[in-house]
Amino acid sequence: MVKICCIGAGYVGGPTMAVIALKCPFIEVTVVDISVSRIDAWNSEQLPIYEPGLEDVVKQCRGKNLFFSCDVEKHVGEADIVFVSVNTPTKTQGLGAGKAADLTYWESAARMIADVSKSDKIVVEKSTVPVKTAEAIEKILTHNSDGINFQILSNPEFLAEGTAIQDLLTPNRVLIGGRETPEGIKAIEKLKNVYANWVPVESILCTNLWSAELSKLAANAFLAQRISSVNAISALCEATGADISEVSHSVGTDTRIGPKFLNASVGFGGSCFQKDILNLVYICECNGLPEVANYWKHIIRINDYQKSRFVNRVVSSMFNTASGKKIAILGFAFKKDTGDTRETPAIDVCKGLLGEKANLSIYDPQVSADHIERDLSTEKFDWDHPAHLQPMSPTAIKQVRVEWDAYEATKDAHGLCFLTEWDEFKKLDFQRIYNDMQRPSFVFDGRNIVDAVKLRRIGFIVYSVGKPLDPWLKDLPAVA
Ligand code: NAI
């Protein structure tokens, strides 16, 4: 039986390995992690991450050919193929701080693989890494082990949180990069054969190592670029009376452009887009390409602008002060159908409103109070560096309440912000919410999920990103 071991039981490692186990019952798959609590959760009824369909897949395979363990060295030592799916956050200190990928976790995983290996192995980069990382990993592996042959493959993951299982079951493509040597080609074939159990072979793309590594960074940069482009146009829509939904639709019907990923919003979030673009920017700078670096840097600038523009809109609408006012925040996760809050725009919006001395009442169906409080007390980039986490300041604690119900969160509020597009928010009883709110009652829709016309009929003053402004807001000074 072929043995696969995956280092890192996170959002990528867990679901990816669960689907491999499901589709390849003759392969023994073990996911290992240094985090005991994460492994305990994978072995329990309450999985550590929320992802539609994941529980079903895990239940079908766990204990048969899918295992979760903290015995990292044993399972890595026994495996034929080792996936490395550890976190690769943005560096917070030293050379490249604020941009470069921090490969500490990757390097320590590579050194451990070298230390415990007694037989030849294929080592697969699943994490998103800077282009040329495989070269460094190869050096670590070959310099630390006697006579063992390691083949490094790059197999970046393209799943999207919220649809991870569907994406893994029917991927647009699987990308495998390897060395163009006979051993490299053999290793590519071996991994290709794993995926070929359920992915059509024409969807399995094989490239050289550097193309595969760079493709992942480029794909995320392109996706984020579409969001920043539509968000930039949304600002112009608000200034001119154009409607971003109509503009997006008209633009997206051009088959060269396509309709997907053209929704205006409060901004993109998630653990990958910002980190991967910053990483791309850093690599461009290191390769003497400042113009290219600046081009990509602006994708993030527009995203930051969109978040601060939203905060400014909230404050300016409410007579230029949010001080002491209760503002309900509905949705904290970075998108619907996930509990993941990494780099969620809600963090920057909430911090902006707290800076205006607003009192926040937050509700998200999948994010706990502890989690929200931790996020609001964490410095930028520190969320993926557990050692840097700080308790929330006593002043901020007084300003934030986390509720377990949208109606509770909106009671007595002056304003209500939608920051995640959860389906349940579309079905809320807005008349009931309006009855319990202060007057005037504001709705700031950062995801364009509510029917603004219907809400205005109830009496709300509604702001929707990129839509013609409510008559109330039109008379106010322009927001930059
Ligand atoms: P994560 O933070 O959820 O999981 C990483 C896990 O690795 C953690 O549980 C951590 O304890 C473990 N770990 C770190 N060092 C370790 C070591 N030396 N030995 C054993 N375990 C170790 O991260 P996530 O979201 O799964 O991302 C992993 C990689 O995949 C990142 O490079 C990310 O950029 C990339 N990626 C993430 C996607 C996403 O949607 N989250 C999508 C595609 C790629």
Residue pair 118/80 in contact by the 8 Å Cβ criterion: no
Give exposure, 111-121, as e/b (b: 16+ Cβ within 10 Å).
ebbbebbeeeb
Residue 468 token pair: 């013609």
For the question of whether the overall pTM of this predicted structure is more than 0.90, the answer is yes
- Residue 72 CA to ligand 1 center (angstroms) comes to 15
- Residue 106 CA to ligand 1 center (angstroms) comes to 10
Predicted complex ipTM: 0.99
What Cα–Cα distance (Å) separates residue 184 from each residue in 118, 121, 122, 137?
A: 20, 12, 9, 15
Distance CA 27, CA 4 (A): 7
Give exposure, 207-227, as e/b (b: 16+ Cβ within 10 Å).
bebeebbbbbbebbbebbbbb
Are the folds of 2-199 and 222-474 the same? yes
Please tell me the predicted confidence (pLDDT) of residue 478: 65
Closest ligand 1 atom, CA of 112? 18
Residue pair 248/284 in contact by the 8 Å Cβ criterion: no
Please tell me the predicted confidence (pLDDT) of residue 394: 65
Distance CA 456, CA 462 (A): 7
User: Could you give the angle at which helices 13-23 and 54-61 cross, rounded to 10 degrees?
Assistant: 50
Cβ neighbours for 296, distance < 8 A, ≥ 6 positions apart? 221, 225, 277, 280, 281, 284
Distance CA 180, CA 189 (A): 12
Please tell me the predicted confidence (pLDDT) of residue 144: 73
- Residue 420 CA to ligand 1 center (angstroms) comes to 23
- Residue 143 CA to ligand 1 center (angstroms) comes to 25
Residue 459 annotated as binding? no
Residue 253 annotated as binding? no
What is the CB < 6 Å shell around ligand 1? 7-13, 32-35, 38, 72, 85-88, 105, 108-109, 127-128, 157, 159, 161, 271-272
Closest ligand 1 atom, CA of 271? 41
Q: 28: which strand partners?
A: 3
Whose C-alpha lies nearest to ligand 1, atom 34? 128
Residue 127 annotated as binding? yes
Read off the DSSP letter of residue 444: E
Whose C-alpha lies nearest to ligand 1, atom 43? 157
Query: To 10 degrees, the CA torsion angle through 138, 143, 148, 152?
Result: 0
Please tell me the predicted confidence (pLDDT) of residue 480: 61
Distance CA 348, CA 448 (A): 19
Instruction: Give Cα 365 distance to the centre of its chain.
Output: 17
Residue 88 annotated as binding? yes
Task: Spell out the CATH class of 2-199.
Answer: alpha beta
Please tell me the predicted confidence (pLDDT) of residue 380: 66
Half-sphere exposure of 41 (CA within 13 A, CB side): 15
Distance CA 332, CA 346 (A): 5
Strand 359-363 versus strand 326-330 pairing type: parallel
Read off the DSSP letter of residue 447: S
Distance CA 358, CA 339 (A): 25
Angle at 339 between CA 245 and CA 89, to 5 degrees: 95
Residue 55 annotated as binding? no
Residue 373 annotated as binding? no
Whose C-alpha lies nearest to ligand 1, atom 12? 8
Whose C-alpha lies nearest to ligand 1, atom 2? 87
Residue pair 115/141 in contact by the 8 Å Cβ criterion: no
- Residue 88 CA to ligand 1 center (angstroms) comes to 7
Please tell me the predicted confidence (pLDDT) of residue 381: 61
**H-helix segments, 144-181:** 164-169
Please tell me the predicted confidence (pLDDT) of residue 474: 76
Please tell me the predicted confidence (pLDDT) of residue 1: 79
- The pLDDT profile of the chain, 480 residues, written as one tens digit per residue, is 799 999 999 999 999 999 999 999 999 999 999 999 999 999 999 999 999 999 999 999 999 999 999 999 999 999 999 999 999 999 999 999 999 999 999 999 999 999 999 999 999 999 999 999 999 999 999 887 778 999 999 999 999 999 999 999 999 999 999 999 999 999 999 999 999 999 999 999 999 999 999 999 999 999 999 999 999 999 999 999 999 999 999 999 999 999 999 999 999 999 999 999 999 999 999 999 999 999 999 999 999 999 999 999 999 999 999 999 999 999 999 999 999 999 999 999 999 999 999 999 999 999 999 999 999 988 766 655 555 545 566 667 789 999 999 999 999 999 999 999 999 999 999 999 999 999 999 999 999 999 999 999 999 999 999 999 998 887 776 666
Closest ligand 1 atom, CA of 276? 34
Closest ligand 1 atom, CA of 126? 30
Give the tens place of pLDDT for each residue, 451-476: 999 999 999 999 999 999 998 887 77
Domain ranges of the chain: 2-199, 222-474
Please tell me the predicted confidence (pLDDT) of residue 331: 98
Where are any strands of DSSP class E within 126-274? Answer: 150-154, 174-178, 204-208
Please tell me the predicted confidence (pLDDT) of residue 378: 81
Residue 321 annotated as binding? no
Q: Among 31, 87, 125, 340, name the best residue to mutate to test ligand 1's pocket (greatest count of ligand atoms within 8 A of Cβ).
A: 87
Residue pair 452/473 in contact by the 8 Å Cβ criterion: no
Query: What number of other Cβ atoms are within 10 A of residue 289's Cβ?
Result: 13
Q: Which residue in this structure is represented by tokens 């604690």?
A: 397
Distance CA 101, CA 86 (A): 12
Strand arrangement, sheet containing 27-32: 66-69, 27-32, 2-7, 81-84, 121-125, 150-154, 174-178, 204-208
Residue 322: is it exposed, middle or buried by C-beta count within 10 angstroms (0-12/13-18/19+)? Answer: buried
Q: Among 271, 278, 279, name the best residue to mutate to test ligand 1's pocket (greatest count of ligand atoms within 8 A of Cβ).
A: 271
- Residue 12 CA to ligand 1 center (angstroms) comes to 6
- Residue 9 CA to ligand 1 center (angstroms) comes to 7
Residue 412: is it exposed, middle or buried by C-beta count within 10 angstroms (0-12/13-18/19+)? Answer: exposed
Whose C-alpha lies nearest to ligand 1, atom 41? 11
Whose C-alpha lies nearest to ligand 1, atom 29? 127
Residue 7 token pair: 């280092």
Please tell me the predicted confidence (pLDDT) of residue 391: 59
CATH topology of domain 222-474: Rossmann fold (3.40.50)
Whose C-alpha lies nearest to ligand 1, atom 11? 35
Which are the catalytic amino acids?
272
